[in-house]
Chain A
């Protein structure tokens, strides 16, 4: 079980809240594709190690690539790696960059899952977020995707926006549910350092919603989507049964994955590394047949376990039976008091060796994760 992530670092315009690496002044992406393919080739050591189950085009705005470029990349991967016939192949789509025709071509190039960045069904929200598309573009994109033959469609939503009220959030959720997509990622807005939003909040041009409202909005989002039949399988992710993002679930299960493209992260057998995040150094390294790696991290046992707790608590829970077996230590015993404390306060459930956070637990998942962090790991 392994995945491949491809970081496509181009955007028409940078959104004020986004801290992913992207460039906005590149029109011709063919040079990039050339180097990306070269990087994939350089990973020959990994080509035959594990079957690839998922491929994910993220960004940036991968839907700025021409469908032929996408198919070129997929073909290269299929040629070099063992790719499962049923592999989930996802493309992140910005509604402002596609039409029906283009979506059909993506379908033909091998994409079988779309993650559409609609973000909101309120134009004021989209303006605030400095998105390049309108609500109408978003809705059209969803219906075009269906018409193009996509069955596995997810959308992204952002809430806790300063432009948002409880009413407009409820409206957003209703439209999202009515759109009949089978996956919704709903994020509470994060002010990331280095973004324009961070600057605006810092100089007080923007007042973020207060904590009580943010909590209420998270509460409403979780309840609303669950009652519409979505499974809340990760802090910010909701799926109809069978439609979880396999690729993202790999991250949360600590499975292996390779990341290609500037700033992409890879994780393989207790080792993590990530690429340099400027496109020209990325090019020049590959020009010289060097891997464009910026940093590598070898995780020790404590760090691995810390991540397993952190990721597990955020998603489908922590399986103590597996954990105890894998690391030959009774973590259940070690954390007995804490587990009891969590379950007796309805912050988590514990069944058959499996600890999973409840909704109120999820709301404070970071606090709870911290309690499971092992010492001496720094």
Chain B
């Protein structure tokens, strides 16, 4: 145990986490250069590579012969790099004794780095500060050094300077891991307590649990129990995580490894849960477990109604690998049969959508995402509303509460004005500003979650030329003056277009939404009247005049086949439209709210 070192890397996107990880794997001989066909081994999902982010957690074990001639087992536990996944990050951190804090020499400290750093400090991790990309001409090493020293109170000589690209400073990192990060502690002779920090689904083996043993030991043949659901399974295979899973038969306190126990459903292997021995159980679980809660909801519908069963199938398969995804069937008068899905955040939603489309070939219509509202009726009932169409009638509502977040924005000082303007538009409550150094500020706000799930992040990026970084945490539910805004097409309400907005914004919102829909819905054979309404009150109106001419003049012997094929092709295209009453609505219209400013 004294030769184990468990650590993770905290870094902002593109600050070099994956490149440093690759260098460590290469330097310790875990992987040869030749094997490293694709750079950045840790991000192995195509989507992750494309987006330059790590979505799922992974872990890898390295063997390192240090300068003290002893051989150490290093477990690098990867962490997802996006705010949607902060709970998963916290569980990965909890599995470690130390963390590399990697900061880009040309960019400095970012909001996300800070929030994850605080999580690490809270978890009692030893922090090894690393400034990466020191070879870049635009690097500002001294300034970044000061930011880091202010942030974690370290000495200048504790900061390691690296260029992972140029292979500078890699040995220093490895030596620091061995020297500074404490060996894991924990009694081998007490009942087993192991922390699940991730699980994946293997079609042959079922759920594969990635875990860190804190106390006791785990060996094949043991009966194991999961605290969250009290379910008992047989430990079929136990081992460590090198480039592949390597079966070792047992793990003991301080080790990081995997467990296969015939678990068919990843929902039984919840991140943050504790595993113990069923025959000799620990009395308490490890601290920090939380049920993951969906923050953002949206309806997912098959474009072609016949594909409903296929979509359910795909969602079920996807869920095997993504325990954070929840869904249940719902119906919409506009869109037919579909699913209301809950996501950790907007990025998580986009990932699910893209994976359904790419990996499962689903053609989807997604409704505008929303948060979950807490509605109290006059009768005193509390209803949770995750679908605006299901909002109780105005007359029955006593009050509506919505989730608020605590937001942290780190920005060069010159953009503070722009950010304040943006935040004010989003009903944000200003809390305070601290200066990280004379050129960078850390702004704190409390913002309704619903205000950031549309396009807040994009707006923030564009108003600060990409320099600001953003992070948030769920805060609480607060009462707001919220109303349901309905959209009617030729007097028929389209449930999938309903949104919940703040009353002060509802008029402008309704007007913009009608105008946007007028652009998105093509002319039809008949006039289409678009109305926005709150309850029975119409607050805005727009009209799409009927199509007046759509006919090709010529159709002789040589034109017939071509023309028929064109019509058939158009018909296929129209299958992607949804028919509401007599009106054909293209898919994009259901996300009109998202593009309302265009």
Instruction: For residue A4, give the distance in angstroms from its CB to the closest CB of chain B.
Output: 11
Asked whether any CB of chain B lies closer than 8 Å to the CB of A274, the reply is: yes
Residue of B nearest to A347 (CB): B525
Given contacts A306-B568, A310-B567, A378-B569, contact A366 B550 (CB under 8 A): yes
Complex contacts, B553 vs chain A, CB 8 Å: 187-190, 235-236
Give A258 to B279 CA distance when docked, in angstroms: 88
B38 within 8 A of A: no
Q: Which residues of chain B (427-452) have a CB below 8 Å from chain A?
A: none
Across the interface, do B552 and A190 meet the contact criterion of CB distance under 8 Å? yes
Q: Mark B554-568, 1 if CB is under 8 A from A, else 0.
A: 111110110110011
Residues from chain A with Cβ under 8 Å of B574 in the complex: 370
18 CB < 8 A contacts A-B? A235-B551, A251-B557, A251-B560, A265-B557, A297-B561, A306-B564, A306-B568, A311-B555, A314-B555, A362-B551, A363-B549, A363-B550, A364-B525, A370-B570, A370-B574, A373-B568, A373-B570, A378-B568
> Measured between alpha carbons, how far is A347 from B551 in the docked complex, in Å?
14
Are A307 and B560 neighbours in the complex by a CB distance under 8 Å? yes
Q: A187-B554, A190-B553, A251-B556 are in contact. Are A215 and B568 (CB under 8 A)?
A: no
Residue A263 at the chain B interface, CB threshold 8 Å: yes
Q: Are B557 and A341 in contact (CB under 8 A)?
A: no
The reply to whether the CB of B572 lies closer than 8 angstroms to some CB of chain A is: yes
The answer to whether B556 touches A369 (Cβ under 8 A) is no
Docked-complex contact B556 and A248, CB < 8 angstroms: yes
Q: Quick check: is B34 within 8 A (CB to CB) of the other chain?
A: no
- In the complex, B547 has a CB within 8 A of chain A: yes
Q: Which of B526, B548, B567, B582 contacts A369 (CB 8 A)?
A: B567
* Shortest Cβ gap from B380 to chain A (Å): 46
Interface membership of A367, Cβ < 8 A: yes
Given contacts A363-B549, A373-B571, A378-B572, contact A310 B554 (CB under 8 A): no
Report the minimal beta-carbon distance from A198 to chain B, rounded to whole angstroms. 14
Interface check A143, CB cutoff 8 A: no
Q: Complex Cα distance A303/B565, Å?
A: 9
Question: What residues on B are CB-neighbors of A375 within 8 Å?
Answer: 571, 575
Give A373 to B526 CA distance when docked, in angstroms. Answer: 19
Complex contact A259–B557 (CB within 8 A): yes
Residue of A nearest to B558 (CB): A265
Q: How far is the CA of A145 from the CA of B553 in the complex (A)?
A: 27
- Closest Cβ–Cβ distance, residue A244 to chain B (whole Å): 14
> Chain B nearest CB: distance from A72 CB in Å?
23
A341 to B525, CA, bound (A): 10
Residue A104 lies at the interface, judged by CB distance under 8 Å to chain B: no
Nearest first, the 6 closest Cβ-Cβ pairs linking A and B are A187-B553, A215-B549, A373-B571, A365-B551, A265-B558, A367-B550
Contacts of A297 in B (CB 8 A): 561
Question: Please, which residues of chain B bring their CB within 8 A of the CB of A248?
Answer: 556
B564 and A303 contact, CB distance less than 8 A: yes
Query: Which of A257, A311, A364 makes the CB contact (< 8 A) with B547?
Result: A364
Q: Mark B306-332, 1 if CB is under 8 A from A, else 0.
A: 000000000000000000000000000
| Cβ A272 vs Cβ B548 within 8 A | no
Q: Mark B279-307, 1 if CB is under 8 A from A, else 0.
A: 00000000000000000000000000000
B554: chain A residues at CB < 8 Å are 187, 190, 236
A274-B561, A370-B574 are known; give 7 further A-B pairs, CB within 8 A: A190-B552, A310-B564, A311-B555, A314-B555, A363-B551, A366-B551, A369-B567
Quick check: is A264 within 8 A (CB to CB) of the other chain? yes
Interface centre among B551, B555, B575 (most CB of A within 10 A): B551
Which residues from chain A contact B557 at a C-beta distance below 8 Å? 5, 251, 257, 259, 264-267
Query: Does the CB pair B572–A264 fall under 8 Å?
Result: no
Is A211 positioned at the interface, with any CB of B under 8 Å from its CB? yes
Interface size class of B (residues with CB under 8 A): 20 to 34
Instruction: Determine whether the beta carbon of B555 is less than 8 Å from that of A265.
Output: no
Q: Are A364 and B560 in contact (CB under 8 A)?
A: no
A365 to chain B, nearest CB (A): 4
* B interface with A by C-beta (< 8 Å): 525-526, 547-558, 560-561, 563-564, 567-572, 574-575, 582
Shortest distance from the beta carbon of A191 to any chain B beta carbon, whole Å: 11
Chain A residues, Cβ within 8 Å of B564: 303, 306-307, 310
A-side contacts of B551, CB under 8 Å: 235, 314, 362-367
Which chain A positions have C-beta within 8 A of B561? 265, 272, 274, 297
- List, in ascending order, chain B residues with CB within 8 A of A370's CB: 567, 570-571, 574
CB distance from B529 to the nearest CB of A (A): 15
Let me know if A114 is at the binding interface, CB within 8 A.
no
Q: A190-B553, A251-B560, A310-B564 are contacts. A363–B548 as well, Cβ < 8 Å? A: yes
Main secondary structure of the interface of B (DSSP, over half): loop
On whether the beta carbons of B567 and A373 are closer than 8 Å, the reply is yes
Determine the distance from Cα of A294 to Cα of B244 in the docked complex, in whole angstroms.
Answer: 57
Q: Mark A274-286, 1 if CB is under 8 A from B, else 0.
A: 1000000000000
B583: min CB distance to chain A, Å: 12
- Return B226 CB to nearest CB of chain A, in Å: 49
Question: A345 an interface residue at 8 Å Cβ cutoff?
Answer: yes
| Closest chain B CB from A96 CB (angstroms) | 22
Given A251-B556, A345-B525, do A364 and B567 touch, yes or no (CB 8 Å)? no
Q: In the complex, which residues of chain B have a beta carbon less than 8 angstroms from the beta carbon of A257?
A: 557
Judge if A23 is at the interface, Cβ distance under 8 Å. Answer: no
- List, in ascending order, chain B residues with CB within 8 A of A347's CB: 525
Contact residues in A for B548 (Cβ distance below 8 Å): 211-212, 215, 363-364
Asked if residues B547 and A367 are in contact (CB atoms below 8 Å), the reply is yes
Chain B residues within an 8 Å CB radius of A259: 557-558
Known: A267-B557, A310-B564, A378-B568. A364 touches B550 (CB 8 A): yes
The verdict on A235 contacting B555 (CB below 8 Å), with A215-B549, A272-B561 known, is yes
Report yes or no: B568 in contact with A377, Cβ–Cβ below 8 A.
Answer: yes
CB distance from B574 to the nearest CB of A (A): 7
Give CA–CA (A218, B554) in the complex, Å.
Answer: 13
Q: How far is the CB of A237 from chain B (nearest CB, A)?
A: 10
Q: Which residues of B contact A218 (CB under 8 A)?
A: 549
Min CB–CB distance B277 → chain A (angstroms): 59
Q: Does A368 contact B (CB under 8 A)?
A: yes
How far is it, in angstroms, between the C-alpha of A341 and the C-alpha of B556 when the chains are bound? 29
* Nearest A residue (CB) for B572: A378
**C-alpha gap A174/B66 in the complex (Å):** 100
Determine whether A214 belongs to the interface, using a CB cutoff of 8 Å to chain B: yes
**A263 touching B555, Cβ below 8 Å:** no
The minimal Cβ–Cβ distance linking B306 to chain A, given in whole angstroms, is: 11
Bound Cα distance from A135 to B219, whole angstroms: 99
Quote the shortest CB–CB distance from A301 to chain B (angstroms): 13
**Chain B residues whose C-beta falls within 8 Å of the C-beta of A235 in the assembled complex:** 551, 553, 555
Partner among B526, B552, B558, B569 whose Cβ is within 8 Å of the Cβ of A263: B558
Please measure, in the bound complex, the distance between the C-alpha atom of A88 and the C-alpha atom of B297, giving whole angstroms: 69
CA distance A342 to B344 in the complex (A): 48
Q: Measured between C-beta atoms, what is the minimum distance from A345 to chain B in Å? A: 6
A residues in contact with B526, CB < 8 Å = 345
Residues of B within 8 A of A341 (CB): 525, 582
* A347 to B549 Cα, complex, angstroms: 12
Residue of B nearest to A369 (CB): B567
Give complex CA distance A218, B575 in Å: 30
Chain B residues lying within 8 Å of A189, measured Cβ to Cβ, are 553
* Distance in angstroms between the alpha carbons of A368 and B525 in the assembled complex: 8
A311 pairs with B549, CB closer than 8 A: no
- Against B, the Cβ 8 Å flags (1 = close, 0 = not) of A229-258 are 000000110000000000010011000010
Please determine whether A310 and B570 come into contact, CB atoms closer than 8 angstroms: no
The residue of chain A having its C-beta at the shortest distance from the C-beta of B571 within the complex is A373
- Name A252's closest neighbour in chain B (CB-CB): B555
Q: List residues of A (137-192) whose CB comes within 8 Å of B's CBs.
A: 187-190
Q: Which residues of A contact B558 (CB under 8 A)?
A: 20, 259, 263-265, 274
How close is B105's CB to chain A, nearest CB, in angstroms? 49
Residue-wise interface mask of A (333-377) relative to B, using a CB-CB cutoff of 8 A (1 in contact, 0 not): 000000001000101000000000000001111111110010101
